Structure 1
Amino acid sequence: MSRLPQIQPENATGKAADLLAGVQKALGVTPNMTKAMVNSPAVLKAYLDFSGALATGSLSADVRERLALLTAEENACDYCLSAHTYIGTNLAGLDETEAHAARHGKSADAKAQAALTLAEAVLATKGEVTDADLDAARAAGLTDGDVAEVVAHVALNVFTNYFNRLAGTDIDWPVVRHGEH
C-alpha cells in the first residue's frame, strides 16, 4: 500500500490537475508514480522535464530502458522494474531476454553494453569512475555526449527508484520483482 497518497486526476486541483492531465494526454494513462509525485507539483514537473529532455538525447529508447532496468535492479525498485520491463518490451523493442539481461548489466548490442558497463561503474562508485572506465566506454563507441547521458539516466532512475521505494507506490504494471532470475 502506498505510503504517500496517490492523487487521482479527478480530485486534483490547480498545478497538480494540469500536470496529471498532461501525463494522461501524453501517455494515455496516469501511472501511480505520477499520482504520488504530484503531492508536490514541483517534483512531478521536475521528473517530467528531466525525462522529457533526456528522451531527445543521443541514446535510443532501447538503451534508455536498459539503463532504467539495470538501475532498478541495483536499487531493488520493483515499481520501476515492472514499469520499465513493460515499456522496454512493449514500446522500446526489447525482447524478454534482452530486458532480463539488462537488469544484470548485459546486452548483445555493443553500444547498449558499453552504456550498461559505464552505468554499473557509476552506480558502484557513486560517480567516481576511473579513467580506465571512461576510456573503455569511449573505446566501445560512446561519445562524450553519450557518457553524459548515461550519468543523467542513472541519476533520473535513482531518483525514481528512491521515490517509489519511499512512497511504496502501488505497482500498476505487470509485476516484476528484483532478484528474480
Structure 2
Amino acid sequence: MKTIDVPVREQVSAQTQEIFDKLNKKMGRVPNLYATIGYSDNALKGILDFEDAFSHGAFTPKEREAVNLVVSQVNNCSYCLAAHSMLAGLKGFSSEEIMQIRKGLSVNTKLQVVLQLAKSIVENKGAAKPVLKEAFFDAGYNEAALIELIGLITVRTFTNYVYALTDIPVDFPAVPALS
C-alpha cells in the first residue's frame, strides 16, 4: 500500500510554498495536515479560504471550535481532535468541557443545540433529525446560520478524511479517548 509522506517545502509547488510561508508567519509552523493538503495548490488554498470565510459568520470562535470537536469525534479523526482540543483550550474551554463537547454536550443550552444538530448531520450523512433542526431555529438561529453550520461541518469533514486516507503523524498533543 502506498504511504503518503508529509512533504517538505521543496517538494511542493511555488504557489504552495507561498502558502506555507504565510502559515509559518501566522502559526509559527506548517501543521502536517496542511502540509499534506499542500500536495494540491488548489486544495490547500481552497480549504484555507473556506475556513477563513466562516471565521466571521454566525458562530463565535468558541462555537466554531466546539463544532470542530464534535465533527472530528464523530469522524474519529485523532489528528483533528488533537489540534482542536488544543485550540479549544486556548479559546477558554476546560478539559472537562472539551470532553463533553466531543460527546455533543454542553451546559450552555444554545451551544448544545448546535452540537446536537452538527453531530446528527454528520452521523446521518446530512439527513439530521428534524427535531434537532427545529430546536436550532427555536434557539434563535436562522437559515444563514444553518448553511454556515453545514459549511463548518464540510471543512472539518474534508480535513478528517484527508487524515483518514493519509494517516500522517499527529503533531499536536494526543487527547484521551472518550469514556
Please name the residue that 2:121 is paired with: 122
In the alignment, which residue of structure 2 is the partner of 1:66? 66
Partner residue, 1:56:
56
User: Structure 2 vs 1, CA of residues 76 and 59 (structure 1 numbering), >3 Å: closer, same or farther?
Assistant: same
Q: Following the alignment from structure 2 to structure 1, what is the Cα–Cα distance between the partners of residues 107 and 169?
A: 32
| Aligned-pair CA distance for 1:71 | 1.0
State how many pairs are aligned.
178
1:159 is matched with 158
Kindly provide the CA deviation profile for residues 109-168 of structure 1, in whole angstroms up to 9, marking residues without a partner as x: 222111101112211221123443321111122222221111111111111101111111
Residue 29 (structure 1) aligns with? 29
For the residues of structure 2 that align with 1:98 and 1:145, how far apart are their CA atoms? 27
1:79 and 1:122 mapped to 2: Cα distance?
21
- 8 Å CA contact retained: 1:89, 1:95: yes
Secondary structure (helix, strand or coil) at the match of 1:128 reads coil
Matched, 1:146 2:145: yes
* One-letter amino acid of the structure 1 residue matched with residue 20 of structure 2: L
Counterpart in the other structure of 2:107: 108
CA distance in 1 between partners of 2:113 and 2:147 (Å): 13
Say if 1:120 and 1:12 are closer, same or farther in 2 by CA, change over 3 A: closer
Given that 1:114 and 1:141 are in contact with CA atoms closer than 8 Å, whether structure 2 keeps it comes out as: no
Q: What letter matches 2:115 in structure 1? A: L
| CA distance in 1 between partners of 2:104 and 2:93 (Å) | 14
- Determine what percentage of the aligned residue pairs are the same residue: 26
Cα distance in 2 between the residues matched to 1:103 and 1:18: 34
What's the RMSD between the two structures over aligned residues?
A: 1.7
Say if 1:66 and 1:3 are closer, same or farther in 2 by CA, change over 3 A.
Answer: farther
Q: CA deviation at 1:11?
A: 5.0
The runs of 5 or more residues in structure 1 that have no matched partner are none
Is the CA contact (8 Å cut-off) linking 1:115 and 1:142 kept in structure 2? no
Name the aligned partner's letter for residue 35 of structure 2: K
Confirm whether residue 45 of structure 1 aligns to residue 45 of structure 2. Answer: yes
TM-score of the two chains, using structure 1 as the length reference: 0.91
Distance 2:4 2:41 in 1: 14
1:17 matched residue in structure 2: 17
Task: Provide TM-score, normalisation by structure 2.
Answer: 0.92
Change in Cα spacing, 1:34 to 1:109, as seen in structure 2 (3 Å) is same
Amino acid paired to 1:51: E
Retained in 1: the 8 A contact 2:32–2:170? Answer: yes
What residue is the counterpart of 1:169 in the other structure? 168
